[in-house]
Amino acid sequence: DVKVTQSSRYLVKRTGEKVFLECVQDMDHENMFWYRQDPGLGLRLIYFSYDVKMKEKGDIPEGYSVSREKKERFSLILESASTNQTSMYLCASSSNTEAFFGQGTRLTVV
Amino acid sequence: SQQGEEDPQALSIQEGENATMNCSYKTSINNLQWYRQNSGRGLVHLILIRSNEREKHSGRLRVTLDTSKKSSSLLITASRAADTASYFCAHVGFQKLVFGTGTRLLVSP
């Protein structure tokens, strides 16, 4: 059973904290993605990676960074969390024909 | 942004009726995919249609693609309460996997 696993289902952090969201896939996919999902806005792409140590900005990269040191792991980093980063964060990995998603991390920044 | 758009934003129907959702996108594509999301969960892949295909079926799902109009539609026939979910189209543009804004479908018993 293929799997994308996100490290936390729910997370509460304080403004200014550094936050790490981890994502691991077991399908040997080269492509991995981080999205945030907010009501009425669909899924917006933050960053993606098509290979180890490679990263590309998506549509809303401001306030975020990523790390891809190993093929199976793609980490999203909020350098200094702010309340407007409260959201659902979704990680995905994909072949050319299908994406597989983690269960999502609902992050609240207070 | 390359984000596509879907309409309607929300759709409410009775069990047994058909549900049609439409998707528009902005770039050339190799394929277009449809996904389903149950409330508060990750997305699940439903069906893929390639750019050289015009229609594809999978069980109660029927997808059409019109590349000249950069649009696609998803039809769910004989809907069930369990079909209640959000539905998204997605395509790859410049290596990005880009999603539409989604349609929230509510099927009432």
Chain A interface test: which of B1, B32, B99, B103 (most A C-beta within 10 Å) = B99
d(CA B105, CA B8): 9
Sequence letter at residue B77: T
d(CA A41, CA A39): 6
Q: Which helix (H) or strand (E) holds B98?
A: strand B96-99
d(CA B81, CA B20): 15
C-alpha of B101 from chain center: 10
Residue B102 at interface with chain A, using a CB cutoff of 8 Å: yes
Q: Which residues of B touch A48 (CB under 8 A)?
A: 95-97
Identify which of A50, A56, A101 has the shortest CB distance to residue B43: A101
* Banded pLDDT at A2 (limits 50, 70, 90): low
For residue B2, the model assigns a pLDDT of 64
* Banded pLDDT at B93 (limits 50, 70, 90): confident
Strand partners, A57: A47
For residue B1, the model assigns a pLDDT of 60
Strand partners, A47: A34, A57
Identify which of A44, A96, A104 has the shortest CB distance to residue B42: A104
d(CA A23, CA B91): 22
For residue A42, the model assigns a pLDDT of 86
Q: What is the pLDDT of residues A31-65, one digit of tens each?
A: 999 999 998 888 999 999 999 999 999 999 999 99
Q: What is the pLDDT of residues B63-84, one digit of tens each?
A: 999 999 999 999 999 999 999 9
Q: Which residues of A63-93 are buried (b: 16+ CB within 10 A; e: fewer)?
A: ebebbbeebbebbbebeebeeebbbbbbbbb
Residue B88 at interface with chain A, using a CB cutoff of 8 Å: yes
CB contact under 8 A, A4 and B99: no
d(CA B13, CA A35): 30
Chain A interface test: which of B21, B29, B33, B43 (most A C-beta within 10 Å) = B43
Sequence letter at residue B23: C
Q: Enter the DSSP assignment of B18.
A: -
Identify which of B44, B96, B99 has the shortest CB distance to residue A42: B99
